[in-house]
A and B are shown apart, each in its own frame.
Chain A
């Protein structure tokens, strides 16, 4: 017993020492994040035990903030499969230094997608029904997009777990155990198999959660597209926005740690990929909007523009295109890409383009009235929804910070020593 207390005391002393080692800014950030995390747990109990009545979702507005979180996280986490695919299958070795960080972000994004889903569905205790009573249609085609999403997400999450193992095994304590070191090494060599499997699965669930889930709702003018057009559009967006997000995370990590986390050519290479994919997405999304306006919405005897009213209307679409254009210009023109300021703006634009799209899909789509005599519906997330959302994100950031500090998430930074302060990722 005395021994145990000794260990605890030792641990507390260790945490205290670590804490004192943090800079003031990191401490403030941690305080804020811990505050949201506390709220997360308090409101989690409330939501799970007393029901979703505490949210501002309603029978007329059944999808809210958490679904946006799911869409956003999965979309942004899409950078993981794209990077893995480029690295392991296309053998773009320039991306090697960022793969650990990417896999970790992908893992966290998917993990928290599940966490948000636990709150979002009314009966989390019955969530396993999705695997026991799946709504498969004839053949291998799933009848319900959500069935497909759940299965793909489930399997892809397992793959991400496997992909993450080598990263975890590089923790200095685990790395010292020879067996684990070899497992980590060989897993790394086999990773292309998982990357291929992950890409296959991601391809489907990115499309179905981000796009297919919405475009098959044939009775809803705000979402419907024939031929699953949005499905494919969104896959492109996931590759474009996802890579931008992975880059942004690495960039921010470098800024916070004041290290050169990635070599310049890695940033360059991934940014170029993102820029190219955003160009493809621009074309796809333009085609999507034009088809919406001219072909699909008129089938409902409504106009596309009239669906873009309410609080989350036209301005969001315009904003999305501004962000897309920004990402393309700033990431593809070499001059802008090389300049750190514009590079930074470019990847932020990319991430924002993704976020705006997801916000628009859910917020505007749900707010469009179903009956001509009803108005657009407003949605004001309650404090419970905000805390669970922000608390979840805070936990994600803290986990990422832990990995960045205690595992060699950025091997490049370790091998190139410390360049305190003056190093810029893209100089």
Chain B
């Protein structure tokens, strides 16, 4: 055998390497390797598999009680499918249910106030949380300072009623609601207006953006379908061309903030037809607002006003709707009364004043009764924030620090008080909370329809349960809370009842009209009117924490980190503003900036439309630090009856 030389060896080795490489390439292995590399470098999440099932339940989010089917994969809820529902919001329920920043256990603040960072809180057990909070309550009550306990709820619902009861049991009258339509109507009219939208054939809306989150969205959407079928007429008064205005059969493009004056004008026309409501003093005020005068003030034509009044009077089932805005409502008590008076003048059967039955008056201890009697009464939330004082505050799902125009004042007061927040996500008000009780989304709530469709998230419990459990540890209140659980209460609870007539307060009307006419005059310093707009899912801020809601925002509302405001083209020309320019908006209260200007003729001349719902300081990383919160500079005159600030129309200038 020939000796293998070095050269041969090298050649053989080289050949083997080349052959091996060729074989490797043609085997496809490198390509498989690349594919594997592609997958490995991507590190994509694969959703956990499981058995598919559909949970049937009734949606408990509003009183429409739609059928709902939840698609489950194993124990995960992956989709909500509602049938024959008008509800937009149920689609968003899973975003809350599985929110990455949901509060999973009761939290106790260990760090400084003014932040919701995880390091500022420690997780505690329910026992400890309830013990600490009840101890604080008990000691305040024992020191005869029960009147310094206050509660703020988001909606007029059962858990809010429980909080009212708890606060009252302590001897305090300071249980308030965020100024929702129901809460405002309650204060102005003595009950909420139960509109029968589906049977109405003529709907006259004073700035109520009926299709954009106003009232109960589910009801409104169902009503819309019926109106289209029946040919009901919708007349919308608004200074911005909203979607509701465009869907309406007639849009009354009034000057910003003149809804009340328009209502007076229509009442005046009805008066000439011999209709009346509200008594002599009231009608005397109405008498002064002739169509011509109203036409000048609102920017409409007298004929337009007369025609609308005519059609309204002639309709079979007319209703006039008050409550400017969508989810965030701002109407003065005078406006609510004046619009309700229109219903009364035509004898509307579709607008009934109702009152929720409530839980009845709690039994008060002698101390509590005495303190309650002596303490100052506040007309409403903003009045309380501005003029009231508290040492302990419950915040039930509400976000007054963000939503109230007095948010900053409230924050300052909360710095020095003991604050308990009951909420599923930490919002702006939670920045000042000492304790957080994690609450539930509606898909996790037990209801009379049966057990909760989805297991409650971690240690979260229903707000109602949390309040009942707490109350049972408070000596002064425990006798008033004899329910075992929230569901126990729901089962025994009755519905709403009708209420008596409205007390039409002519003095408030006169004062409001005088103040409004003064505000309407453009001043040298503040020539423009700032009015709010809303997107349905965003509402006045609640939607911004949800990533999929962020995906619905259009580019002329918020894009690339900037909030957009809309300005009429001619007005923008006059003020030298060009499309996309960054501007600051300043009112007598302060300045917000910067926002981008979008020039569009969908806004009235001399007005700026600004979207609500942006500019959170907390409320999860998805909502935080996006845009500006116009409430910081919005008008803050407090209404005498509702105790809420009338922020709808603010005089501003831009720079």
Contacts and interface: CB of A to CB of B under 8 A. Distances in A.
A and B touch in the complex (CB under 8 A): yes
Interface of A: 123, 125-126, 128, 132
Interface string B18-49: 00000000000001001101100100000000
A74 to B, nearest CB: 25
Nearest to A131: B31
Interface in B56-106: none
A126 B35 CA distance: 7
B37 A132 contact: no
11 contacts: A123-B38, A125-B34, A125-B37, A125-B38, A125-B41, A126-B34, A126-B35, A126-B38, A128-B31, A128-B34, A132-B31
Contacts of A126: 34-35, 38
A16 B153 CA distance: 78
B27 to A, nearest CB: 14
B41 to A, nearest CB: 7
A126 B41 CA distance: 12
Contacts of B37: 125
Contacts of A132: 31
A123 B38 CA distance: 8
A132 B38 CA distance: 16
Chain A residues touching B, majority SS:
helix
Interface string B198-238: 00000000000000000000000000000000000000000
Nearest to B30: A128
A125 B31 CA distance: 10
Contacts of A125: 34, 37-38, 41
A374 to B, nearest CB: 9
A103 to B, nearest CB: 27
B35 to A, nearest CB: 8
Nearest to A132: B31
Contacts of B31: 128, 132
Contacts of B35: 126
| Among A125, A126, A128, A132: residue with most chain B CB under 10 A | A125
A128 B34 CA distance: 9
Contacts of A128: 31, 34
B125 to A, nearest CB: 42
Given A126-B38, A128-B34, 9 more contacts: A123-B38, A125-B34, A125-B37, A125-B38, A125-B41, A126-B34, A126-B35, A128-B31, A132-B31
A132 B30 CA distance: 13
A426 to B, nearest CB: 49
A111 B206 CA distance: 68
A11 B31 CA distance: 38
Contacts of B34: 125-126, 128
Contacts of B38: 123, 125-126
A242 to B, nearest CB: 34
Contacts of A123: 38
B643 to A, nearest CB: 44
Q: Which 5 A-B pairs have the closest CB atoms?
A: A125-B38, A126-B38, A125-B34, A125-B37, A128-B31
A47 to B, nearest CB: 14
B158 to A, nearest CB: 46
A126 B37 CA distance: 9
Nearest to B36: A125
Interface string B287-307: 000000000000000000000
A125 B38 CA distance: 6
A132 B41 CA distance: 21
Nearest to A374: B555
A125 B35 CA distance: 8
A413 B185 CA distance: 95
A80 to B, nearest CB: 29
A125 B41 CA distance: 10
A38 B41 CA distance: 25
A130 B137 CA distance: 71
Nearest to A124: B38
A393 to B, nearest CB: 28
A126 B34 CA distance: 7
Interface string B336-378: 0000000000000000000000000000000000000000000
A125 B39 CA distance: 10
B28 to A, nearest CB: 9
Nearest to B555: A374
A249 B430 CA distance: 67
Nearest to A126: B38
Nearest to A125: B38
A128 B37 CA distance: 13
Nearest to A127: B34
A128 B32 CA distance: 11
Nearest to B39: A125
Nearest to B41: A125
A132 B25 CA distance: 13
A348 to B, nearest CB: 37
Nearest to B31: A128
Nearest to B579: A375
Nearest to A123: B38
A123 B31 CA distance: 14
Nearest to A49: B41
A125 B42 CA distance: 11
A246 to B, nearest CB: 35
A379 to B, nearest CB: 14
A132 B37 CA distance: 17
B446 to A, nearest CB: 44
A126 B38 CA distance: 7
B514 to A, nearest CB: 43
Interface string B474-487: 00000000000000
Nearest to A375: B579
A377 to B, nearest CB: 11
A123 B37 CA distance: 11
A141 B38 CA distance: 30
A126 B42 CA distance: 12
A405 to B, nearest CB: 33
A123 B34 CA distance: 11
A132 B35 CA distance: 12
Interface in B532-558: none
Contacts of B41: 125
B371 to A, nearest CB: 60
A187 B483 CA distance: 97
B34 to A, nearest CB: 6
A208 to B, nearest CB: 25
A284 B65 CA distance: 69
B554 to A, nearest CB: 11
A149 B34 CA distance: 22
A132 B31 CA distance: 10
Nearest to A48: B41
A126 B31 CA distance: 9
A125 B40 CA distance: 11
A132 B34 CA distance: 13
Nearest to B34: A125
B42 to A, nearest CB: 9
B504 to A, nearest CB: 47
A128 B31 CA distance: 8
A119 B31 CA distance: 20
B599 to A, nearest CB: 12
B40 to A, nearest CB: 10
A158 to B, nearest CB: 16
A324 B114 CA distance: 66
Nearest to B35: A126
Interface in B448-471: none
Nearest to B28: A132
B275 to A, nearest CB: 45
A132 B32 CA distance: 12
A128 B41 CA distance: 17
A285 to B, nearest CB: 35
